[in-house]
Structure 1
Amino acid sequence: MAADVTPESPAVLPQADARQVMLQKFYLRDASVEAPLAPQIFSRPWQPQVDVNVATNVQSLGDDQFHLVLTVTVTAKLGTDVAFLVEVQQAGVFVVRGFPSEPERAAVLAGYCPSLLFPFAREAVSDFVQKAGFPQLLLQPINFEALFIEHLNRARAEAQGAAPATTAEATTH
């Protein structure tokens, strides 16, 4: 049963400690594309080795606000020659409040928030690749939460003296 909201009976405000994640602003912070062997590279058969590297950087802005920069670097090689290199820094300002512990907040900032920015970075990478004269490149979705858990497991293993786990690099053929 829903309650009517009138001036005499205002809506119940969410509790101050309620968990909230809000994207306040997103923007393309920096982007670059290099095609060092153009135009000669365009005459070669196109069967590249594509490496995708992803990194995040989080900075606290105070008052539960955080600035997150998602960097996506894509390198395509034909043999040992670099056909293109595209780097995109997609950024966002997030409000993250109501998470009582640092590990929970870190999981949100490393897992959930980058997943909100990634579609914009993926679109920018695709646009730059095509504008540089290369065939369309569609980056596959990334599970940032799984990468964060992998990072935690690797840090624990290294702290215990075990061999580190795999890296967060994707390779596509």
Structure 2
Amino acid sequence: MAEEQNGAAQAAPQVKMNTLSQFVRDLSFENVLAQRGTGGEVQPDVSVAVNLDAKKRSVEHQYEVSVKLNITSKDKTANEPLFVMEMDYVGVFHIEGVPDDQIHPFLLIECPRMIFPFIRRIVSDVTRDGGFPALNLENIDFMQLYRNEITRRQAEADGQKADA
């Protein structure tokens, strides 16, 4: 019995994952408050939208994962924008041993988790350097984001079938 379990463990492929590189593809920060020339006390209300994308690269076992953030901050009392930040952050990964039917969730859950600390640091630095208190992003539940997207796509597909 122990030999069978050992055989099964050896048959299962070992997952190998390396982060080859990561970089900011696009970044913009607009300090709307400073452009208006107003200041004083504000009560910020921050909204963060996250979009994920992944694609296979031409090199075998290499994938590119993009985390796109759209962060807006509005004054709670006046409902006027304070700042807008958009960033497209990319990680390039070498991944082996992940079954084909599991590569999509792996790319959109595990890879963003690996690069998120770097994204958090950039957002913090840019907002601070832009004249606001440093924005420290809460942890993002990439697994829940993935599940929500699958549910949304399934509902969309079901809605299209109902229309036909």
The TM-score with structure 2 as length reference comes to: 0.80
Match of 2:125 in 1: 127
* Deviation, structure 1 residue 73: 1.6
* Deviation, structure 1 residue 19: 2.0
Secondary structure of 2:140's aligned partner: coil
* Deviation, structure 1 residue 136: 2.1
Deviations 1:5-49 (A, max 9, x none): xxxxxxxxx989432222111122222110123065662322112
Amino acid at match of 1:68: V
In structure 2, distance between residues paired with 1:117 and 1:17: 24
Alignment of 1:64 with 2:100, yes or no, is no
Match of 2:79 in 1: 80
In structure 2, distance between residues paired with 1:51 and 1:84: 11
Cα pair distance change 1:127/1:156, threshold 3 Å: same
Select the residue among 14, 32, 41 that pairs with 2:28. 32
Secondary structure of 2:57's aligned partner: strand
Deviations 1:141-165 (A, max 9, x none): 0010111012112222332339xxx
Match of 1:153 in 2: 151
In structure 2, distance between residues paired with 1:55 and 1:49: 20
Higher helix content, 1 or 2:
2
RMSD: 2.3
* Deviation, structure 1 residue 125: 0.8
2:33–2:39 Cα contact (<8 Å) kept: no
2:65–2:108 Cα contact (<8 Å) kept: no
* Deviation, structure 1 residue 123: 0.9
In structure 2, distance between residues paired with 1:101 and 1:35: 44
Ranges in structure 2 where 5+ consecutive residues have no aligned partner: 1-9
Match of 2:6 in 1: none
In structure 1, distance between residues paired with 2:88 and 2:117: 12
Q: Percent identity?
A: 30
The TM-score with structure 1 as length reference comes to: 0.76
2:17–2:93 Cα contact (<8 Å) kept: yes
Cα pair distance change 1:41/1:21, threshold 3 Å: farther
